[in-house]
Amino acid sequence: MKSVIILWRWILVIAAAFMIVGVMNYHVPFSRVKTIEYSFRGPDGTISHVYPVARVRDVARADGRTYRSMIEDPLYFDVRTLLPYGKARIELVYRNKTAVPLKIGVKLKNGETAFDIKPFANITKDGEWSRGEVAFDLSPASYYNSKYTFAFSVPGLRAESAAAGEVRLSQMTLTLERDPISWKEIMKLWKKR
């Protein structure tokens, strides 16, 4: 009986160690690369809802894809991370029914409304849907309260303008990259908690 209790204690210790390592790897990946899939249905723990909510319609479905329609410019979302990252790459599946190209930006350190806005590159078509990507250097980006703020931009897009159209946001893949974590950063995290 005593050996069974000792065995269960070891099993619990090993299981707890695996859980701690798993949670740590989720927040600060050992591979230095974190990839998040986001479908615009709601927050996933790392990526927030898109906001303000008056600028986006509820989740809908068309052509076998789930999407949310952006009806006014700009539209924001936040990315929460325990540590700052050095680079971000965003791949987006979208459908733009306007004459203005969709762009995305990351908020910069030097101002409340300053964003590094970039157009999507390497755009491929799948019927009426497009897939594009954009890369950011996050060193000049604002990392405040453990989050980065991004914005979708289609200048001139307004809900009250019938000619403006809409932009449908379907699927986003966000890849964050960073240098290896240092002991100094681990100690900073430990003191934060």
What does the pLDDT look like over 5-33, one tens digit per residue? 888 888 888 888 777 766 665 555 555 88
Task: Compute the C-alpha angle 159/165/166, nearest 5°.
Answer: 80
Report pLDDT for 162.
47
DSSP letter for 144, please.
B
Residues 97 and 130 in one domain: yes
For the chain, the average pLDDT equals: 84
What does the block give as tokens for 144?
């405040």
Residue 14 structural domain: 1-30
Based on the fold, state whether residues 56 and 37 are members of the same structural domain.
yes
Same domain assignment for residues 76 and 98: yes
**What are the tens digits of pLDDT across the range 56-115?**
999 999 888 899 999 888 999 999 988 889 999 999 999 998 888 999 999 999 767 789
Q: What does pTM read for this prediction?
A: 0.77
25 and 52 co-located in one domain: no
End-to-end CA distance of the chain: 40
78 and 170, same domain (yes or no): yes
H helix count then E strand count, the chain: 2, 11
CATH for 101? 2.60.120.260
Examine the domain organization and report whether 21 and 53 are in the same domain.
no
Q: In total, how many domains does the chain have?
A: 2
Residues 1, 39 within the same domain: no
Q: Which two tokens stand for residue 7?
A: 């065995």
